[in-house]
Structure 1
Amino acid sequence: MSTLPYDTRNIRWNTIEGFDHVAYHVCAVDEAKRIVDILFKFDANSKIALHRHKADYITLVLQGELRIYRADGTLKEIRPAGSYVAGSADGEPHTEGGGDQDVIAFFSNRNVGHLVYEILDESQNVIATFGVAEFKVLLEAQAAQPSTLVA
């Protein structure tokens, strides 16, 4: 089901080489409050890398529908636009992606210790991690880019 488009004219989407079907915009990294807030845009009809959340999180779907898949590829859940879901650290590994439309979702990672995400291979071995330090670097790189604000 298609939803009204979320206005992203004032959001600079970034990508990381090797991570297909996802763009991000780091909203905030607050070490004192142990919060990392990120907007993600997942490609329609695609899946991102297998991963595990290592911090508690809140998700708000802003556009499209967020599809959650188990590690074996079976569809676990569909979250339509407007869905607000709170999750706990160390849940089951999964992939995510958009339905028939790109999905935009806000992720607020809370109670962050060191890590926010573990990226896993098909055997569920950790192949990469993203934590506070990595998101701080991504935020700094993003802030150094020229402004694209639209009035």
Structure 2
Amino acid sequence: MDVGMVEFVGLIKVDIIRGTDLAVRDVMSSDPYVMIILGHQSMKTKVIKNTLNPIWNERLMLSIPDPVPPLKVLVFDKDTFTSDDRMGEAEVDIQPLISAAREYQSSIITESTQICTFLASENSILAKDSIISIVGGKVEQEIALRLQNVEHGELEIKLECVPLNQ
């Protein structure tokens, strides 16, 4: 596969806020961390020891390639002597956030304004409604993800898109 020259359309800031009710992968608890993947790039949070309700409050940043792939979010349990255990995953379509950021990047809206809402449903990865909004001149999306391929668990993240000037 020839990666060649990759065009980038902007940056995405991913705030990994917290996990809730994550699955047990060690004897009584887990040592969770989050990995995000966008195209050929990946980043990880720090490991939070011995908890099923970790609070990271950690910002990760990736370049957004064109065409825009989904943002993959994976939660793992850190193990010392064996390979890390999966604790769930989700894929987030970031195209609506990028479109909103492009549309509003030159706007002079200073007050917080909701742009659009994605409704949670029993069959979606959203644990609650997700809103794209302008906050302090920045286009952001808060997302509560219902982790997939795992017994239970949720992950709260916040995305901010910084488009490159076209």
**TM value normalised by structure 2:** 0.24
User: Which of the two has greater strand per residue?
Assistant: 2
**TM value normalised by structure 1:** 0.26
Structure number with bigger Rg = 2
